[in-house]
Structure 1
Amino acid sequence: MKVVITGGAGFLGTLLARRLLAGPVAVGGAGPAAVGELVLADLAEPAADLAEDERVRPVVGELVSVLPELGEADVVFHLAGVVSGAAEADFDLGMRTNVDGTRALLEYARRHRTPPVLVFSSSLAVFGSDPAIGPVGVVDDDTLPRPQSSYGVQKFIGEQLVADYTRKGFVRGRSVRLMTVSVRPGRPNAAASSFLSGIVREPLAGQRAVCPVPPDTPVALSSPRRTLDGILLAARAGDEAWGSRTALNLPALTTTPREMAAALDRVAGTRASELIDWIDDPAIGPLVRSWPARLRTPRAHALGLTAEESFDDIVRAYVADNPAVRS
């Protein structure tokens, strides 16, 4: 089996690559098979352990320019993109990467002799609080997206492109709307939601962190493990089982930064949360508060996906997966 991951050197791309290589992998309702070739397309080189695997072929460069190097694949995971804060700050970059790049990738897949399964990572940011209507409230499988950021609009456009290329039979597309992933290891990125990892990651390492929203702001989260479960299920499901071409909302845990800080202290066994500075940011705050925090996801549940039961579990999993994080 041949697999392509765009954004293959990123956080989720790296985790996904490792999971795929551990195999076997089932795609599109077929039986499990080993990955024979894994193409990781990104602006950066992949992690050393992946680069050393003889099954891995790194392709480094702008996505649109390297598409001819990818070759045909059985499944394509499209994770590459400009994150929320960067897309809002640089409109042209977001459109070029998140819209034009997605369309170019779909055209690449359209030229395959056999339509590949294509998993597109969309976002909770397709939903927002329309100023003319009011708060978005509880989101369910039929809630109309009303994005309130350039990033959200770009992701919604991507969903519709995937749906139409699927309708035409060019690809076997599945769009999954990812929740904010917490806790991410490593350095902060330009996503508006980056602080939802930072307020755990940095205090555990003995460093100060800033929370740019009020402590009781409700947010929807998913752990890296559960996010990967959703992405892999989208690839694994047969067309009939997957059902609607409409994007799938992944399950989420609803919590608040205050509850996250309390969970941090319980798991750490210290007053680590005292390293959090609570400073309401006039740019990030309104954007985060426009996102929905409560979801009902019966479609995902029917496919066997569930949210974490508590943020304590997410912090424990982060510490277990990253044993060197504590100061």
Structure 2
Amino acid sequence: IFHLAGIVSGEAEANFDLGYRVNLDGTRALFDAVRLAAFAPRLVFTSSIAVFGAPFPDVIPDEFHPTPLTSYGTQKQMSEALLADYTRRGFFDGIGIRLPTICVRPGKPNKAASSFFSGIIREPLAGQEAILPVPRSVLHTHASPRSAVNFLIHAAEIDGDKVGPRRNLTMPGVAVTVGEQIEALERIAGAEVAKRIREQPDETIWAIVKGWPTRFEARRARELGFAAEKNFDEIIQAHIEDELGKTVA
């Protein structure tokens, strides 16, 4: 069973009741339905790096304690605890994967506070203007949709005994600044495409983003066979190939 449903970060912060009803109550309802069905499947849950809160070390180790600073992160952390306890009790065999920001997301922007990370790549490549609401110095960790799918598949197949009792894993990714994202876009698509990004500060988004973690060790996940891109150029190339149907030289 793959549990990916949820209210995203910006919306969970804006709508307190909805975020808890969907992200926490909905998750527990699903977990209880599985428990009552009594067939103990592998259950893969998509958590988030939002479970971590500042202050941060330069690189966050696997032992770093989750102290979320948003309602969304709190809801995800509570769900992680439920997953570990239901696994301990034998109701299912759960694996929680803390996803970095998935970039470049296909389709239209959503209400996630992180939506701009994809927008500043996706929209310029489509010939449209993109809004950048935070400083170019913001450092963040990303993985492509390709990697996200591979994370899910690997989590479904991995030996639970090798994971041990700590069932929630921080996934690997590429840590870059927003400025480095834009530089990668310019290298691949040209300066004119990169000029379609317009800087327009948004204090609401900035208040959320500046409390997010930046770099992760992700040692446990790597040792268990999870892998992501090596640089942000590869993430853009994956988007161009998978969503725009073009081959990147």
Fold agreement, TM-score > 0.5: yes
What secondary structure does 2:78 align onto?
helix
Cα distance between partner residues in 2 of 1:113 and 1:174 = 18
What secondary structure does 2:203 align onto?
coil
Q: How many residues align?
A: 246
CA drift of 1:143 comes to 0.6
Corresponding residue for 1:139?
Answer: 60
Residues 8 and 112 in structure 2, CA contact (< 8 A), matched pair in contact too: yes
Corresponding residue for 1:300?
Answer: 221
CA RMSD of aligned residues (A): 1.3
Higher relative contact order (CA 8 A, sep 6+): 2
Corresponding residue for 2:12?
Answer: 87
Matches within 5 A, 1:47-126: 76-126=1-51
What secondary structure does 2:229 align onto?
coil
1:163 aligns with 2:102: no
- Considering only CA atoms, is the larger Rg found in Structure 1 or Structure 2? 1
CA drift of 1:146 comes to 0.8
Cα distance between partner residues in 1 of 2:66 and 2:166 = 15
Residues 178 and 227 in structure 1, CA contact (< 8 A), matched pair in contact too: yes
Corresponding residue for 1:149?
Answer: 70
Matches within 5 A, 1:227-306: 227-306=148-227
Cα distance between partner residues in 1 of 2:31 and 2:201 = 40
Match of 1:128 among 53, 56, 79: 53
Residues 79, 234 of structure 1: alpha-carbon distance in 2 compared, 3 angstrom cutoff: same
Which structure shows the bigger proportion of residues in helix conformation? 2
Corresponding residue for 2:146?
Answer: 225
Identity %: 47
What secondary structure does 1:170 align onto?
coil
Question: Over residues 36-93 of structure 1, what are the superposed CA-to-partner deviations in whole Å (9 max), with x where a residue is unaligned?
Answer: xxxxxxxxxxxxxxxxxxxxxxxxxxxxxxxxxxxxxxxx100000000000000000
| Amino acid in the other structure paired with 2:24 | V
Cα distance between partner residues in 2 of 1:284 and 1:94 = 17
Cα distance between partner residues in 2 of 1:115 and 1:266 = 49
CA drift of 1:136 comes to 5.1
CA drift of 1:269 comes to 3.2
What secondary structure does 2:195 align onto?
helix
Q: Which moved more, 1:92-101 or 1:221-230?
A: 221-230
Specify every segment of 5 or more residues in structure 2 that has no aligned partner in the other structure, as ranges: none
4+ residue segments displaced more than 3 Å: 134-137
Residues 234 and 242 in structure 1, CA contact (< 8 A), matched pair in contact too: no
Matches within 5 A, 1:6-25: none
CA drift of 1:166 comes to 0.7
Residues 319, 119 of structure 1: alpha-carbon distance in 2 compared, 3 angstrom cutoff: same
Residues 248 and 300 in structure 1, CA contact (< 8 A), matched pair in contact too: yes
CA drift of 1:98 comes to 0.3
Matches within 5 A, 1:11-50: none
1:211 aligns with 2:140: no
CA drift of 1:243 comes to 2.0
Q: Which moved more, 1:139-148 or 1:111-120?
A: 111-120
Specify every segment of 5 or more residues in structure 1 that has no aligned partner in the other structure, as ranges: 1-75
What secondary structure does 1:111 align onto?
helix
